[in-house]
Structures are given as C-alpha cells and as structure tokens.
Amino acid sequence: MIVKQLYTNCLSEAAYFIASNGEAAIIDPIRDVDGYIKMAEEEGVKIKYIFETHFHADFVSGHIELSKKTGAPIVFGPGADTKFKVHKATDGEIFEIGNLKLKAIHTPGHTLESTSYLLYDEQGEPYCIFTGDTLFVGDVGRPDLFSGNMSKEQLAGIMYDTLQEKIKTLPDHLIVYPAHGPGSACGKNLGPETFSTIGTQKLTNYALQDMNRETFIVKVTSGLADAPAYFPLNAGINKKGYDTLDEVMEKGMNGLSVADFKQKIKDGALVLDTRNSAVFTSGFVPESISIGLDGRFAEWAGSLLPFNEPIILITDPGKEKESITRLARVGIDNVQGYLEGGFEAWQNSGETVDLIIDIEADELAMDIPFDQNLEVIDVRKETEFENGHVKGATNVPLDTLMDPLNVAMIDSDNNLYVHCAGGYRSVIAASILKRHGYHNLRNVLGGFGKIKEQKTIPIVMPDKVKLQ
C-alpha cells in the first residue's frame, strides 16, 4: 500500500496518491498533472480513479486534465452538478484500488457536495480519511465560500451535523489527511501540521469540542475574513471546465522582443514581474506589478490580477514556464508572452526603468521624529494590524490596493513608508502604488518584524501604546 501526500506550499494545498497491486487513485489534484502521471509510471501502476472532495475555490483542480490524459473517471460526491462527465458517488459507496477499498462519506458543510474518503488497508482495517475541506488540523472548512443560495449559518448547521454524526464517530487512530495546511484561506486558523489523527483533533480542534448547535454556528461563522476575490471564479471553473494546460502553455510561452513587448503594453497588456522581490526594487519596467515566485505567488496573483485582460511576463531566465504554470493553478490563463532576455534585455536596450527605494527599519526610526509628511502604510491584513502596528500608521490591506478608490485615500503629497510583516507583500504593494502614480515611496525591509526591534518607534498593541 502506498499513500503519499503531495503538498504545494504556495497554495497550502495537499493532493494524495494512493496505490496498491497495480492500481492508483489521485485525490484533489492540482492543475499541472504530469507529476502524478510520472509517479504512477515510476510505481508501475495505472491511475484508476480521480477523486474530488468538493468544488475547490482556491485553485483550479487538475481533475479534467488528468482524466483526459489517463482515461480515469472523475468522482465527486452526492449532489455535484458539473458541465462535464463525472461519477457521482453515493454516500457509503465503495471503490476498489488494488487490494484497498475507499469509502465515500458525504460530509456537507463547507459545501453541499463535500465528501470525505475513508481508506481501508489490505487487511480491511480503516487506515486514514481524506477530509478535503471538511476537517483541517485545528479547524474546519469555512461555510461562506461556495454555498449557493444558503447562508453561512445554514451551512454551519449542516457542518455541525456532519461532525457529530460522521467525523467524531470515527476511530481515534485514524489518520486525518486534509486538503489544506497552514496559510490557507479556506479556514480561519489552520494548525501548523498538514496531517493529524481523529483522536488528536477530538482533543485539540475547537470545532470538535462538546457544544450545542447554536454555539457551534457562532464559533464557525465569527471572525471570517473576506475570502480572496478569485475564489468564486475558481469554484466556477472547477464546476464548468477549462482549457488544457498545454493550450495555456502554447499561448504563454511566446518570447517577445523589446519592441513587441512595448507594443503589447501599448495595446493594454499588464506587465507582471515574477523575479525575487529584492531584485525587483532595484530596477523594473515602469508600471509593472511585482509578484515574486519566492512567496505565496499563486494566491496573490489570483487576488490581484485580472482574469480577462492580457498579461505579459518578466521573469528570471528559465522561469517562464513555472510562472505560467503557477498562474494557471488559480485560473489565470491569459498570459500572452514573456520578454525574451528578461529585464536585462529591457535595460540594455536603453529603455526607461523605474525603482523602489529600500530602507532598513532603523532609518524609519530616524525619520519619524523629523518628517512631518511621513506616513506609514501598513499593507497587512486587518487582523494583523489590530494585533500590533506603528502608531499613526494607515492600514491598507494588500488585497484592496487594486481598487483605485482605496488608493485614492492615500495622500500623494506624503512620504510613504510601506511595510508588511516580513517584506514580500510590501514590494507588491509598492509596485501597485507606483502604477497608480505614487513615487515618493520607501519599502521597509524586514517589515513589522524588524520595525518592532526598534526602541524608538511607538507601537500600538491591543489596548495600549508602548515603545519597544
């Protein structure tokens, strides 16, 4: 028996490979599926089934792509309504994979079609359960992402029944393999591990503690941050279908000369620069947006970039394919090409370049007492800001910056010192502000983590102000 968790860090997503006696199954594949096919070939097994736990909202699944390439049927849970052919499992239906058995257990709550899959080993004993977004380590799937006409409170009530009747009744030794780990926006506060056991979750997961339905609904629906804007789009794509990754790659892997690149910009294409954020600030094509491959690239690309406008890329040499692939993972299929030779080709051709000034946190500390026009722009989430921030700072969360109305609230006459938690998001934010016409910018290296180390910068903590 083979059970492998295949984790994609920038999406906080886990797919699974199961194999036994010449047969295999894939659970919740991401869009670039060749790795699963190669794995099956290396193990000498044939992919027999593709299981989906639900309609994913945070990434485009590889279910259709993998089915086309292998002939394996796509299995969804009860009530899944798709525009392509699938097998709709009934609650309790058994699927055989070599000498293993996989049981579909309808576990609605996160979505109505959500289904978990209980794996029995070669001896017929329950071994693990693939819970999708029903049960995470330390959390459960939020009930407000793709609920149709139902309210989040109604879905939370359904989730309560699911947990009481179908999850808490499982044996304690059972391994829990969820679809997501820490950092995912599909839950409120996922734990640091990517797997656990039913017994551990009964002890530590707030949602599995003894409480009545009303209390549970309040706990699960309170404190939910706004979901990333691309979530409904991805859920719809997973339900309706999409172009193959090969088609997306053929369109995007189009090397452009500097002249052709400039013409694309003139025609309205958005320039996306995927180089490391530290490299970007020292020089970039004017009005380009920085989202570096070194961070949570797919999530921020999906949250900030248009899905219906042409995009052209600047990447490190050899990173063109990776950039296009990772964009496609969240349904951004509109890449029209990349700059041949990268930023150096632009620079060497004598074209105008822009830059962002990086400063250390101690320089901010020195400037605060003397610059009357200094404004600190904190682009972290509201919850991060509330847990501690620079006194007088303006909180403009990064995911709101593509809206000109939000940007308009920032005074263009001020000297803007932009920071996030560690430095990745602030470069994205600074590039967007540059695109909106703000040029008196400073990017604070190391973000709030370094700012807190400065003894003279006043920090507002909950209910108090203190000097670090």
Residues 111 and 145 sit within 8 Å (Cβ to Cβ): yes
pLDDT digit string, tens, across residues 146-183:
666 889 999 999 999 999 999 999 999 999 999 999 98
Q: Do residues 9 and 100 share a domain?
A: yes
Q: Do residues 192 and 66 share a domain?
A: yes
Question: Is the residue at 150 inside a domain?
Answer: yes
Q: Do residues 134 and 18 share a domain?
A: yes
Q: Do residues 225 and 249 share a domain?
A: no
Round the average pLDDT of the chain to a whole number and report it.
95
Q: Do residues 28 and 138 share a domain?
A: yes
Question: Is the residue at 311 inside a domain?
Answer: yes
pTM attached to this predicted model: 0.92
Question: Is the residue at 367 inside a domain?
Answer: yes
Question: Is the residue at 239 inside a domain?
Answer: no
Q: Which of 233, 261, 290 is the last residue of a domain?
A: 233
Q: Do residues 279 and 397 share a domain?
A: no
Q: Which of 348, 375, 405 is the last residue of a domain?
A: 348
| CA separation for the pair 207, 95 (Å, rounded) | 29
Q: Do residues 172 and 26 share a domain?
A: yes
Q: Do residues 162 and 46 share a domain?
A: yes
Q: Do residues 362 and 344 share a domain?
A: no
Q: Do residues 171 and 298 share a domain?
A: no
Residues 132, 397, 410: CA angle, nearest 5 degrees: 165
pLDDT digit string, tens, across residues 53-65:
999 999 999 999 9
Domain span holding position 164: 2-233
Structural domain count, the chain: 3
Q: Do residues 35 and 179 share a domain?
A: yes
Cβ-in-10-Å burial (0-12, 13-18, 19+) of 217 comes to buried
SS3 at position 326: helix
Residues 6+ apart with CB under 8 A from 180: 12, 13, 14, 58, 133, 136, 186, 187, 190
Per-residue pLDDT at 464 exceeds 70 = no
Question: Is the residue at 384 inside a domain?
Answer: yes
Question: Is the residue at 238 inside a domain?
Answer: no
| CA separation for the pair 198, 151 (Å, rounded) | 28
pLDDT of residue 77: 96
Per-residue pLDDT at 308 exceeds 80 = yes
pLDDT of residue 148: 67
Question: Is the residue at 458 inside a domain?
Answer: yes
Q: Do residues 193 and 63 share a domain?
A: yes
pLDDT digit string, tens, across residues 10-56:
899 999 999 999 999 999 999 999 999 999 999 999 999 999 999 99
Residues 327 and 301 sit within 8 Å (Cβ to Cβ): yes
CATH number at residue 60: 3.60.15.10
Q: Which of 208, 233, 258 is the last residue of a domain?
A: 233
pLDDT of residue 260: 98
